[in-house]
């Protein structure tokens, strides 16, 4: 089982994500943003959190134009699995792989703390390890985590059961309390909270570990 973690200038959660994949049983390759191709045989691509390109222009906008992102888009278009966390979620919306945008937090302040998330659907490889309605504790660390999409898109996400996580106590103003969403084929997840930071008891909890273990189960039986 192979995972690739993309590294941009300014990424600061790439190693955390790689460790979470490794703990779940994946062989992990770190892929530089200027590479044109993903490693052969990659099962899932991780786009990590951080501040790619210093968040200049707009969070994730410059990273979305990097050579490797074309390969990530192609991977997703072929039905490959991908997960974008925090800045990675921003990048995936900028590439068009996922709908919507991440705006400045409603309170205009950077937020770094653990929040409660509700599992909104278990019908995905990322959330099948939880029970519907479960509440888990996962850290957030962002200044631009306010998810926004027009009313039609939000309704579509809800009607198609593509909202993966919602905030129990919305910290950033995200529309409909959305904390994470799925692509149309349900193989790409974008989320602002950091499950890779909740995958080790030494970090204070393991509520995020099921995201990665569920992926292992699916890939191993594919």
Q: What is the pLDDT of residues 1-36, one digit of tens each?
A: 899 999 999 999 999 999 999 999 999 999 999 999
Q: Which of 86, 94, 184, 201 is catalytic?
A: 86
Q: Which of 69, 94, 142, 196 is catalytic?
A: 196
71: which 2 tokens? 């390969």
User: Cα(210)–Cα(71) distance, rounded to whole angstroms?
Assistant: 27
* Rg, Å, the chain Cα set: 16
Beta-carbon contacts of 141 under 8 Å, excluding residues fewer than 6 positions away, are: 49, 86, 110, 111, 112, 194
68: which 2 tokens? 């490797």
Domain limits of the chain?
2-221
Beta-carbon contacts of 34 under 8 Å, excluding residues fewer than 6 positions away, are: 66, 67, 68
Cα dihedral 115/13/148/175 (nearest 10): -10
Would you give the DSSP letter of residue 76? H
Alpha helices in 14-120 (DSSP H): 14-24, 67-77, 87-95
Q: How confident is the model at residue 84 (pLDDT cuts 50, 70, 90)?
A: very high
Q: How confident is the model at residue 214 (pLDDT cuts 50, 70, 90)?
A: confident
**Top-level class of domain 2-221:** alpha beta
**Which one, of 17, 6, 11, 66, lies nearest residue 39 by Cα?**
6
The reply to whether 142 belongs to the active site is: no
Would you give the DSSP letter of residue 136? E
User: Cα(36)–Cα(69) distance, rounded to whole angstroms?
Assistant: 8
Q: What is the pLDDT of residues 111-125, one digit of tens each?
A: 999 999 999 999 999
Q: What is the mean pLDDT of residues 37-54?
A: 95
**Which one, of 107, 113, 118, 114, lies nearest residue 172 by Cα?**
107
User: Cα(21)–Cα(112) distance, rounded to whole angstroms?
Assistant: 23
Contact by Cβ (8 Å): 145, 111: yes
Q: What is the pLDDT of residues 152-208, one digit of tens each?
A: 999 999 999 999 999 999 999 999 999 999 999 999 999 999 999 999 888 888 999
The reply to whether 196 belongs to the active site is: yes
The reply to whether 203 belongs to the active site is: no
């Amino acid at each position: 089982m192979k995972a690739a973690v993309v590294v941009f200038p300014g990424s600061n959660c790439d190693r955390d994500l790689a460790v979470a994949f490794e703990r779940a049983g994946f062989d992990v390759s770190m892929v530089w943003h200027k590479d044109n191709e993903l490693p052969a045989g990659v099962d899932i691509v991780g786009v990590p959190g951080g501040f790619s390109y210093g968040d200049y222009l707009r969070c994730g906008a410059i990273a979305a134009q990097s050579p490797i992102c074309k390969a990530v888009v192609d991977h997703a278009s072929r039905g490959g699995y991908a997960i974008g966390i925090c800045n990675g979620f921003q990048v995936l919306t900028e590439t068009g792989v996922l709908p919507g945008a991440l705006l400045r937090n409603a309170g205009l302040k950077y937020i770094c703390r653990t929040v409660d998330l509700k599992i909104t659907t278990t019908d995905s490889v990322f959330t099948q390890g939880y029970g519907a309605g479960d509440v888990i504790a996962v850290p957030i660390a962002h200044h631009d985590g306010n998810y926004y999409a027009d009313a039609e898109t939000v309704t579509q996400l809800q009607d198609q059961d593509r909202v993966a996580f919602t905030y129990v106590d919305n910290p950033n103003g995200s529309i409909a309390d959305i904390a994470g969403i799925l692509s149309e084929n349900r193989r790409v997840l974008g989320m602002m909270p950091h499950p890779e930071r909740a995958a080790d008891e030494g970090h204070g909890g393991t509520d995020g570990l099921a995201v990665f273990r569920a992926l292992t189960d699916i890939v191993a039986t594919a």
